[in-house]
Amino acid sequence: MSELTLKHSSFSSLLLVLKGMIVGTGAILPGISGGVLCVAFGIYEPLMQVLSDPRKYLKQHLSLFLPFAFGWLLGFLLLAGAVETFFELSPLSALTLFAGLIIGTVPGLLEEAEEKKSSWSWLLLSFLFFSLFFSLLKESAAAAISANAFWYVFCGAVWGFSLIVPGLSSSSLLILLGLYQPMTAGIAALDFTVILPLLLGLSLTVILFSRIVVSLFAKRRSILLKAIAGIMLASAVSMLPQITYEPLPLLLSVLCFLIGYLLTRKMDKAKAVNE
C-alpha cells in the first residue's frame, strides 16, 4: 500500500469515526433521526445490509462499519451531554443547524431516485402524512409512565426504528411519554439497568426489521427514496421552532441553517466524486 493510499485510507476512517460520533450524538436529541443522519452521510444502505445479514455483508463493509460503530459509541456516551448543553443554551441555533443539515441531503437523494423514474406523488404523500404525524405528536400531552426495565426496552425499540426508518425521531416520542429524562440520566450515569434494556430493545428491532428495509430498497428503490425525502423534509420542518423576528436570533438561525445545508451539500458532492 502506497503512502498516498494509506493517508487516504486513514482520512476516510477518521471521517467515518466523525460521522459515527455525529449520528451517536444526534440519536438522543429531540427532533433528530439517526436514520436521517445515516442517509445524510451515505452510510444508511451499507449499514442496513450489515445489520440485516452480518454473515453476508460484514466482511464486505468491515472497513466502513467498524470506525462508524466506534464513533457512534463515542458520540453516544461522551458527546451527547455537550450537544444537549448547546440545545439548552441556544435551541433555535441547534435546531436550525440540524434542519439545514437534513434539507441539504434532499437534492442528492432525489437525483439518485430519478435514476429509475417513479411518481413524485410518493414524496408529496410522505411529506403530508409525516408533517401531520409530527404535528399531532407535538400537540399530544405527555403520558404518565413510570420508567422501568420494560419501558427502557421500549425506548431501545423506538431508537431502533429511528435508525432503520429515516425521518422517525425517537426522542420526540419519548419526551411525550415522559421517558426521555430518566433514560438520558441513566445513560449519563452509565447505569447498566438502563443501558442494557435499551441495547436489547434496539438490537431486537434492528434484527427483526432491517432485512425488510433492505428488501424494499432492492425492489422499490426509487419510490422508497422519494418517500424518505418526504419524511426528511417533514422532519426538518417539524423541528424548526416558531420563527423569531428579533434581528440577532433570526440572523444566527439563518446562518446556522446555511452552515448545515452547505456542509451537507459539500459532503454529498465529495461522496459523488469518490464514487
Question: Is 69 in contact with 61 (CB distance < 8 Å)?
Answer: no
pLDDT of residue 193: 92
Among 21-25, 44-48, 103-107, 268-272, name the one with the lowest average pLDDT: 268-272
| DSSP type of residue 77 | I
pLDDT > 60? residue 16 = yes
pLDDT > 80? residue 271 = no
Question: Is 30 in contact with 162 (CB distance < 8 Å)?
Answer: no
pLDDT > 70? residue 33 = no
Closest by CA position to 14, among listed 67, 63, 74, 65: 67
> Model's pTM, two decimal places?
0.65
Cα(212)–Cα(219) distance, integer angstroms? 11
Cα(91)–Cα(244) distance, integer angstroms? 12
For the stretch 231-265, pLDDT in tens is 878 877 877 766 666 778 788 888 988 988 887 77
**Who contacts 143 (Cβ-Cβ below 8 Å, separation ≥6)?**
176, 177, 178
Cα(148)–Cα(182) distance, integer angstroms? 10
Question: Is 123 in contact with 230 (CB distance < 8 Å)?
Answer: yes
Average pLDDT (8-13) is: 68
Average pLDDT (207-221) is: 79
pLDDT-derived band at 110 (thresholds 50, 70, 90) equals confident
